[in-house]
Amino acid sequence: MSDGHAAQRARVRLRAQARVLVRVFAALALLPAVALAHGVSTGDKGYIMETIGTRIVPFMYLGAKHMVTGYDHLLFLVGVIFYLYRLRDVGVYVTLFAVGHSITLLAGVLTGVHIDAHLIDAVIGASVAYKALDNLGLLARWFGRAPDARAATMLFGLCHGLGLATKMLDFELASDGLVANLVAFNVGVELGQLLALSAILVAMAWWRRSASFARWSTGANVALLVSGMLLVAYQLQGWFTGTPAA
C-alpha cells in the first residue's frame, strides 16, 4: 500500500472517530440535566432523615443504590481499570479506592466534617479527568513522570468518601443507631461498587478482544477527560451561583 493511500485511510479513520467523539461530547454536555441521578431521591432522603434506630438492610440498599447511580464514582473506576488486565491488579486498586472512601465516609459523618458539596464534587470530577490524563500518558509527558497510581487512587478514594459523607451530613441523621446505619450504608456502597465493577469488567474484557479497542481506546479516554472537565465546570458553576447541590 502506498504512503498516499495509508495517509488517506488514516484521515478517514480520524474523521470517523471525530464524528463519534462529537456525539459523545454532546451527550456528556447533558450531564447537568441528569445530575440528580447521583443525588438521593426525595423519597430516600425523607426516609433517611426520619429514620430513628438501627436499619441495617435499608441503609445497605441505599448505599448500593447510591454507588450504582453515582456516575462520577463509576467513571473514575472505569479510568482506573481501563488498562489493568490482571484481576489481581484490579483487586489492589479497587481495594485502595474502597479503603479510602470508607475512611472518610465514616470519619466525616462521625466527626461532622462538612465541605461544600459543589466543591468536593468538583474534586471528584477532577479525579475522573486526572485518570484520563494518566491513561493518555499526558501527565508523564508534562511532568517527566506520572504520579504514583496507587497513591493517587487512595487519595481520590478519600475525596470520594468525603463527598458521600457531605451528602449524608446534609440529612441530619439521628444519633440513635448512627454507627450501625453508617456501616450498613458503607457495606452497601461496597456491594454496589462490586456489582457495577463486575459489569464494567465483563464489558471491558469483551471490548479488549475486539480490534476496535486499539482504535478507540484513546478516544474513550479523551471522552473520559471531557466528562471529568464537564463535571468540574458544572459543580463550580453551581458553587459560584449558589445553586443547591443535588
pLDDT at 45: 58
From the first residue on, what is the mean pLDDT of each consecutive set of 10 residues in the chain (246 residues)? Answer: 60 54 48 45 58 78 85 91 94 95 92 86 94 94 90 94 85 79 91 92 92 90 94 90 71
b/e map of 23-58 (b: 16 or more CB within 10 Å)? ebeeebeebbeebeebbbeeebeebbeebeeebeeb
Per the rule left: phi > 0, alpha: psi between -120 and 50, beta: everything else, 123 is: alpha
State how far the Cα of 184 lies from the Cα of 16, in Å rounded to an integer.
47
Residue 64 cell numbers, joined: 448500593
pLDDT at 30: 47
- Residue pair 235/118 in contact (Cβ under 8 Å)? The answer is yes
pLDDT at 37: 40
Q: Is the dihedral of CA 213, 218, 221, 226 positive or negative?
A: negative
pLDDT at 31: 46
pLDDT at 13: 58
pLDDT at 48: 64
What global pTM score does this model have? 0.79
pLDDT at 33: 40
Strand intervals (E) in the chain:
none
pLDDT at 245: 65
